[in-house]
Amino acid sequence: MVTSGNFNRVVTGDDQDYSVTIGNNNQVELGAGNDFANVFGNYNRINAGAGNDVVKLMGYHTVLNGGDGDDHLIATAISKFSQFNGGEGRDLMVLGGYQNTFKGGTDVDSFVVSGDVIDNLVEDIRSEDNIVFNGIDWQKLWFERSGYDLKLSILRDPSNDSDQSKFEHIGSVTFSDYFNGNRAQVVIGMSEKGLSGEREYTMLSDSAIDALVQAMSGFEPQAGDNGFIDSLESKSQAAISMAWSDVVHKKGLMV
């Protein structure tokens, strides 16, 4: 189903639906079923409802509500000023875009961090959740603590030499209250799923994250030819390299 134009209200029904929304100020109710939706335009609202839904945003000023089920909500790099709400279920939230905010909701949620992140905020990270790095070299990641918050900076690959690309060269995501009893697993690698649905995965230990924060404290992240690490003195570089080897290997349900 394709919805175009402005100020429409669409109810797709309870079967599996494929929805494309183009335009502004539209409200789409996907209902029950495992639905797929692509959203363009501005000031739209998508209520995914029950089911394991996949919703991808390529617009601005939009609210995406996952509802019940194990939802997959995707913020592309071009999305801006939007709110992603996972709702109930084991949700997979792919972070990205500019000034987007995310709430996983209840159950175990996973937040994927990649080069699509420009400026994001995760408001409800919890200890049972996962922060998953996807396709980012460890030298292009910077860890900071601000109060109880964890801020990750990501050195992005600019698409061109425009002023906008230079402005977006370093992305960031803040996990609110991470250090206040909400230390989610920080996953840096994983295997393929087995028949049981479980994976083997590798995560940074809590002490590794503390060591990275400590080694990077007092410095501002500065981009070099090989990431953020080039600008640091050798003692800090050694501490950071050692922290990245302080890992824990586990097996379980993962994204």
Domain map (residue ranges) of the chain: 2-188
**Mean pLDDT of all residues in 127-131:** 98
How sure is the predictor about 31, in pLDDT bands with cuts at 50, 70 and 90?
confident
How sure is the predictor about 9, in pLDDT bands with cuts at 50, 70 and 90?
very high
Token code pair at residue 231: 């600008």
How sure is the predictor about 17, in pLDDT bands with cuts at 50, 70 and 90?
confident
Residue 142 vs residues 65, 170, 177, 215: alpha-carbon distances, Å = 30, 10, 18, 10
**Mean pLDDT of all residues in 146-169:** 86
Q: Give the list of residues 6+ apart from residue 128 with CB closer than 8 angstroms, or none.
A: 108, 184
Residue 16 has a pLDDT of 87
pLDDT above 90 (res 176): yes
The CA-to-CA distance between both ends of the chain, in Å, stands at 28
pLDDT above 80 (res 255): no
Residue 244 has a pLDDT of 98
Closest CA to 98 of 117, 112, 71: 117
Token code pair at residue 121: 């905020």
How sure is the predictor about 243, in pLDDT bands with cuts at 50, 70 and 90?
very high
Of 91-100, 155-164, 201-210, 216-225, which gets the smallest average pLDDT? Answer: 155-164
Token code pair at residue 111: 């937040």
User: Amino acid identity of 189?
Assistant: G
* pTM, 2 dp: 0.95
Residue 161 has a pLDDT of 74
Residue 163 has a pLDDT of 74
Q: Which CATH number fits domain 2-188: 2.40.128, 1.10.150, 2.150.10, 1.10.286?
A: 2.150.10
Provide the β-strand partners of residue 189. 202
Of 113-117, 153-157, 241-245, which gets the smallest average pLDDT? Answer: 153-157
pLDDT above 80 (res 172): yes
